[in-house]
Structure 1
């Protein structure tokens, strides 16, 4: 047994022992009563949940309450251009959190559950907020909230390959002084990735030519430090200021030992990656009465520094030939500045809002390539397209009109456009200018108190990555994405409809149907005569559905139990730029489902859960290869929880109990795949192993 594996086992045993001992000490503590499952109370077109509805879950934060709302799926903010229209289906006190620092979901994780007055589930069309559709959660937080703190310690361990994570967790504190409320927090959100096992290489005739044994692990940490201040007044005015600074570290190690079967030659390839950077944000807004309505001014400033260094070295263990290799370094500075104004007023039953926004985005990259010489030194290699600066200036104007057409029917119409100038600053091409209309029409209908239906039609402009304007080598796959200065954002016509049915004591179910017709879809295209890169294809189609349900099992006699069910399918089609045949869009999640049983044992502080899920993704279609990466395509886990261990909630989880694996298939061609012979097939079916997590969550 290695020292590392021994330390891991000791840590796991200590974590499990501390959990069991603390739980045993509190085993005599019971809930005051067997609390029934959450059942919404109707208030007009709203469904209202009180804090008492979530008592059985002993929530510590406002987010803990929201995730237990039956049949509701939390949707985070899209990475929209600028702030744009709302996309996050969560509001706080009726307000959209329009910033780039995590939005409403992130703030709810920093707010004590004792500060929540109620949670309202409303139809988006009844709100004067452009961009939303379907069911929206409005979390009402008490204005006179008392000072409170929240903490969570969440170490986790993988049984194989990865290093343990001992520093995962968060601490936040909310307080109020006169008209000023504040939240101070620090949160480490780590990520661990690891797998290992065989890799098989076969030639174009299917003959096994090479075996590899590969190990990969990465350890990601980011320490988000945030201070949020809210100002109530003077008068009816309100303001918010959020300051955030987040350093991050992301080292990665990948190594494989290779055996060339024809000659029994042995080689070792090692790839090391270092990425230590930071990002910082300032988000501020101020809303006040002006004339017949209210004006809200919003400002955002975002900085990021991303220095990347990656080395690849191939050693010839048998022949003793000089090592070969390459190095890619990239020093990138990213910036975003947004100014936005929203003016809203009401006349009779009509709600109006006009918004104007200016956004400036920039990416400044200094990239370099090196090759390893026979003396073991990295020497520069020409890489002119790896350095450059990309900027975009964008102006957007949107007008929104909302009105109830009947007591149970709401309409919202938003219309506007954006004007932008996109420039690769360091080349000799003139900046490109664009005009793009955008907007939406949303209908919300409640034919019966237990039914909610919505329909949304939208014209949308998507996001692009400025990295794709510049060359980006993929050392591990011996491939390079050439820079594409002609890249443009995709645009789409979108239709979505949602049906939600309240099942009363049985729970709630929801079905979403969608169809998107996308123009200038982002995919891999030919660049020049023999290069490939990220670019635009003329059009693509996406259509599918998702069903989300919460089934309460109390009526069956299984008291304190519920089942959460999700399943969805998406079909996509796009014309391949090489073969001109219709295929799926690269890398799209096209099939998914999950089922989770949770049982809060009546009369005790204990709960347990078991879940299983599946996620399937389409193939990636590059010009010289086709590959498919299914990392843990099936996943299952269990946890046991005690909700009153000295006032805290303690949970011990074991994930990937079915030993799902890391699976990759690659078909690589000797040139463009529509005109070149097969070079080799690659297959990986590698061990990941179980994942153990201990969570201790409480208030102070």
Structure 2
């Protein structure tokens, strides 16, 4: 059998040592700091940053304020929906952000978006909390941000942005957003609207060779889009004598309009330089999402509190793909008109996905150091999806039969849970928990109709200990159950490789016993932070591809595997011991895993799991000039993917972003940025076997380069 050796990076280990030595040495030279640490009788601590701390930086939004705090970089990064889709129910919203001590309810909520739209002048203070925060289902040992708003913000304030984005292929698109928040007769409100291009131009090059290196043919593909996304958000909140009521809403509209233009070079007589055929895939459709969520908190007395949360979300997604013979395709155009091209075939996909969740918890403070939480969560998840394929011959449509091409899937789930928290001594907290889950799953389709039930018990124990206000250690052990991806139940399309992937209606959730030991050390006087953790998981029913028949595969469950590793996060503020007001932050995650490959019977690591993940971020504030500049670098390690007749080894280069920001006047900023500076490339080395991987007989090799285009632009930001 052909063996693949994946090269491991030796630099991450050295970087880890440098970070640790650097922070340890400089922590001895830290000067006085104007941040107030607060310790409590709980196994946790809190550092408070008042609004005065941020004034020299002239922040526009709450997100600008957080960027000046060491150790918060990874808590609010990026846009997105359903941030942790592998977790079930409202636990999948693992945002580590509170607003006035309350979580942002919802599955489509992302704190970075909310905070970027929240005017800085409405923020009273920001608290960084470590320890057990009962408002959130965060990972043990997590840092939590609590943004406390001013109570006298009745006049209202807003943030407006406008700018231009440009790509290396010549596209230029405007982007804009506006938000407003305030208080009216005791009702706090926020609203925002965002319009941005949803574009990611990609160039793909494939070279096919014999095992001996002889060139067979090559393909080139250009993926282009002309898409604009529109997002509207709003929230209302009202404080009562006994608690709080809040309501949130979201609407997201994305018209789909993109093309894949593929060229085949198969003529060896001209050294494979002239195209022997061009295919144009024209994709049109839409993604419409909406969500309503809310929560009600009611305090019966100082010892008993009721919290109820609800979510209703809906996604409608339609795709119509048409294949054309594109011999005359204009490869340099963004989207080529297809009216004069010969249609070859196509496929259609219609999907409607809904989620309804209702959750209620009762918190009892029995005595000073004892708390009990009792709760129940019910959910109904559904997916209605249909996919069909066809060819066009002599202007006649000929349907292609697809097995398991349509399904209506519904899961009704209920979970009851309880936790008991005990603080035996000052600085220590022990939390034990138990959850029991029952769900019924029904599937109706032309080829597959079935029903089944799933039952899980999920115990947990978390131990926190604070040595002082600057250092904490923790241990966690729990049983976790992953979220089923209903799309894996139904046949789907891998458009990059022109493959139809079979679905598997008998999938079960991936489950694991997770063990974690970690600690956090805050450098004196708020000058930085070091956070490390080691983890080990025994994973049951690992999700990956499994054999379907003699020469095909489908999504499935492999059996039991293990996943373990170590993560280090560091952040330091140079302004506390030098004249340079800069923050440098980094993180490194190293991991290994092992599971039995269903196609070869050999041990290998989990599919599509990076061997390491590395980030480095820096920013420098020149307050005298009203100037900020910075960078961030992200790099993931190699991955693998195993299939019936294929084995892939994947790698990628680093993604680098740089930016420059200038305060024009109080409340008005301009930012210039360049993302994906080095035009990040991903590589895939594929070995193709005949008749299978198990035979070890490689008949063809494929080398793929996946190149993302750089993006640059500018934007103005202002408050009003």
Q: Shared fold (TM-score greater than 0.5)?
A: yes
Q: Which residue is 2:60 aligned to?
A: 60
The question of 1:449 aligning with 2:455 is answered no
Alignment of 1:249-328 (within 5 A): 249-262=255-268, 266-290=276-300, 293-313=304-324, 325-328=344-347
Aligned CA distance change for structure 1 residues 285 and 656 (closer, same or farther; 3 Å): closer
The question of 1:242 aligning with 2:270 is answered no
8 Å contact from structure 1 (residues 281, 302) kept in 2: yes
8 Å contact from structure 2 (residues 439, 454) kept in 1: yes
8 Å contact from structure 1 (residues 212, 258) kept in 2: yes
Partners of 2:190 and 2:453 lie apart in 1 by 42
Partners of 1:588 and 1:258 lie apart in 2 by 31
8 Å contact from structure 2 (residues 93, 107) kept in 1: no
| Per-residue deviation, residues 85-131 of structure 1 (Å, max 9, x unmatched) | 76322222222223123154443333222222222222232646555
User: Displacement of 1:428 after TM fit?
Assistant: 6.1
Please give the TM-score of this superposition, normalised by the length of structure 1: 0.88
Partners of 2:34 and 2:598 lie apart in 1 by 51
8 Å contact from structure 1 (residues 359, 394) kept in 2: yes
The question of 1:329 aligning with 2:325 is answered no
Aligned CA distance change for structure 1 residues 586 and 39 (closer, same or farther; 3 Å): farther
Of 326-335 and 635-644, the range deviating more from structure 2: 635-644
Give the secondary structure class of the aligned counterpart of 1:138: strand
8 Å contact from structure 1 (residues 125, 132) kept in 2: no
Alignment of 1:86-485 (within 5 A): 87-125=94-132, 127=134, 129-134=136-141, 135-146=143-154, 147-160=156-169, 163-167=171-175, 169-196=176-203, 198-233=205-240, 235-262=241-268, 266-290=276-300, 293-313=304-324, 325-348=344-367, 349-373=369-393, 375-426=394-445, 429-485=449-505
Aligned CA distance change for structure 1 residues 663 and 544 (closer, same or farther; 3 Å): same
| Per-residue deviation, residues 559-615 of structure 1 (Å, max 9, x unmatched) | 212211222212122210111111121111322222233211142201212343322
Please give the TM-score of this superposition, normalised by the length of structure 2: 0.85
8 Å contact from structure 1 (residues 344, 351) kept in 2: yes
Aligned CA distance change for structure 1 residues 75 and 620 (closer, same or farther; 3 Å): farther
Partners of 2:565 and 2:506 lie apart in 1 by 31
User: Displacement of 1:465 after TM fit?
Assistant: 1.1
Give the secondary structure class of the aligned counterpart of 1:54: helix
8 Å contact from structure 1 (residues 37, 56) kept in 2: no
Give the secondary structure class of the aligned counterpart of 1:638: strand
Q: Which residue is 2:24 aligned to?
A: none
| Per-residue deviation, residues 305-350 of structure 1 (Å, max 9, x unmatched) | 1101223345679xxxx97844221111111111221111212122
8 Å contact from structure 1 (residues 160, 688) kept in 2: no
Alignment of 1:546-585 (within 5 A): 546-555=567-576, 557-585=578-606
8 Å contact from structure 1 (residues 92, 104) kept in 2: no
Q: Which residue is 1:78 aligned to?
A: 84
Give the secondary structure class of the aligned counterpart of 2:132: helix
Alignment of 1:622-641 (within 5 A): 622-630=643-651, 633-641=653-661
Partners of 1:477 and 1:606 lie apart in 2 by 47
8 Å contact from structure 1 (residues 542, 570) kept in 2: yes
Aligned CA distance change for structure 1 residues 351 and 66 (closer, same or farther; 3 Å): farther
5+ residue gaps, structure 1, are: 1-34
8 Å contact from structure 1 (residues 413, 440) kept in 2: yes
Partners of 1:257 and 1:620 lie apart in 2 by 26
Aligned CA distance change for structure 1 residues 388 and 460 (closer, same or farther; 3 Å): same
User: Displacement of 1:276 after TM fit?
Assistant: 1.0
Give the secondary structure class of the aligned counterpart of 1:554: helix
Q: Which residue is 2:695 aligned to?
A: 675
Aligned CA distance change for structure 1 residues 164 and 634 (closer, same or farther; 3 Å): same
Partners of 1:395 and 1:88 lie apart in 2 by 23
Partners of 1:143 and 1:325 lie apart in 2 by 63
Partners of 1:682 and 1:334 lie apart in 2 by 36
8 Å contact from structure 2 (residues 551, 644) kept in 1: no
8 Å contact from structure 2 (residues 437, 457) kept in 1: yes
Partners of 2:402 and 2:134 lie apart in 1 by 52
Partners of 1:608 and 1:37 lie apart in 2 by 24
Give the secondary structure class of the aligned counterpart of 1:114: helix
Aligned CA distance change for structure 1 residues 671 and 480 (closer, same or farther; 3 Å): farther
Q: Which residue is 1:31 aligned to?
A: none
| Per-residue deviation, residues 505-562 of structure 1 (Å, max 9, x unmatched) | 5422211222222111110111244331111111222212222211222355342122
Give the secondary structure class of the aligned counterpart of 1:165: strand
Q: Which residue is 2:539 aligned to?
A: 518
Q: Which residue is 2:336 aligned to?
A: none
Aligned residues: 658
5+ residue gaps, structure 2, are: 1-30, 78-82, 329-340
The one of 508, 511, 522 equivalent to 1:488 is 508
Of 602-611 and 388-397, the range deviating more from structure 2: 602-611
Partners of 2:130 and 2:204 lie apart in 1 by 49
Aligned CA distance change for structure 1 residues 102 and 197 (closer, same or farther; 3 Å): closer
Partners of 2:572 and 2:543 lie apart in 1 by 39
Partners of 2:424 and 2:118 lie apart in 1 by 36
